[in-house]
Amino acid sequence: MRNSFRLSQHLGSVAAVAILAVGLAGCQTMRSPEVTGSLNARAEVTPNSLPRSEIDALGERYRANPRNADAALQYGQALRLNGQRPQAVAVLEQATLTNPGNKPLLAAYGRALVDNGSFQLGFDVLTRAHSPANPDWRILSVQGTALDQLGRHDEARRYYASALKIAPEDPSVLSNLGMSYVLSKDLSQAEAVLRRAYNRGTSDPRVRQNLALVVGLQGRFSEAESIAKADLPPEQAEANVAYLKQMLSRDGSRGQQTTSTAGVSRS
């Protein structure tokens, strides 16, 4: 009983770090990431992050005309990708007030809210960003992650299922679905779904890293290590493995993790 409780605490903390909502494509010149959160968020720069000079230029353009929807959208997304989440929320919130009904802005604002931990509000805003007659699979996937963070896992998976009907076997949606099973401590199902995502051959390493995390949580650390460092330069591979070890040890030793995982009937 004690081991199962410790695993429950550990999985909750790990999944809260690892799962991030799928990105939204909001404009022509800059594309947000469309893949879930990464095992090694501290160890590598997201592939869609922008140089500081570009972010500053987008900020100057926005401040010159804050009512310009495109300028606000690009600047808000740049701030979010740079990890400046509260600032992104502030910029995009103001933009939606001055441009009511602008669905790309609503989508970006909802995404920023979810990133910033405002899950229910983000979900509600995203509901206004598309319509049942014309659903956006990316928005559906973000809404799923918001519901997962609210503990509404069955409902979240219905949103992922709807997204997958529009974008069959999309690795980003599958990765979010896999991490949903991590949150409900169904590790075998999580691994099965994440392997589907991994086998799609996505170029984004975060899908692979989520798979490594789930494999490691089941006590198969050598296999998890191999997955985490595949196809990476040596220094980056070492950083990934170090972060994997940190994630898996935050609930105690590796031996305790293995024992705890074995005690969960659904895994």
pLDDT at 48: 55
Q: Is the pLDDT assigned to residue 215 strictly greater than 50?
A: yes
Give the integer Cα–Cα distance in Å for 167 and 20. 19
Q: How far apart, in Å, do the first and last CA atoms of the chain sit?
A: 15
- Report the range of poorest mean pLDDT among 109-113, 118-122, 189-193, 248-252: 248-252
The whole-number pLDDT of residue 223 equals 95
Is 131 strand, coil or helix?
strand
Q: What would the mean pLDDT of 101-108 be, rounded to a whole number?
A: 96
Q: Indicate the average pLDDT of the chain.
A: 80
Q: What string of DSSP letters covers 3-38? A: HHHHHHHHHHHHHHHH--PPP----SS-----S---
Q: State the pLDDT at residue 254.
A: 38
Q: How far apart are CA 222 and CA 184, in angstroms?
A: 24
Cα–Cα distance between 64 and 141 in angstroms, integer? 34
Greater pLDDT, 115 or 231: 115
pLDDT tens per residue across span 129-179 = 999 899 999 999 999 999 999 999 999 999 999 999 999 999 999 999 999
Region 92-116 average pLDDT:
96
**Contact status, residue 14 vs residue 247, Cβ threshold 8 Å:** yes
CB atoms within 10 A of CB 52: 10
Percentage above 70 pLDDT, the chain: 75
Identify the band that residue 250 occupies on the pLDDT scale cut at 50, 70 and 90.
low
Q: What is the mean pLDDT of residues 205-230?
A: 90
pTM above 0.75, yes or no: yes
Instruction: State the Cα–Cα distance between residues 50 and 238, nearest whole angstrom.
Output: 24
Torsion on CA atoms 125, 126, 130, 131, rounded to nearest 10: -80
| Domains delineated in the chain | 2-186 (1.25.40.10)
Instruction: Output the CA–CA distances (angstroms, integers) from residue 31 to 4, 23, 24, 244, in the order listed.
Output: 41, 9, 8, 28
Tell me the one-letter amino acid at 126: L
Residue 191's pLDDT is: 97
* Predicted local confidence at residue 164, as pLDDT: 98
In DSSP terms, which residues pair with 131 in a beta bridge? 134
Higher pLDDT among residues 205 and 260, named by residue:
205
Closest CA to 151 of 174, 185, 198: 185
In angstroms, the CA 8 to CA 264 distance is 9
Q: Is the pLDDT of residue 2 over 60?
A: no
How confident is the model over 218-245, as pLDDT tens digits?
999 999 999 988 878 888 888 888 888 8
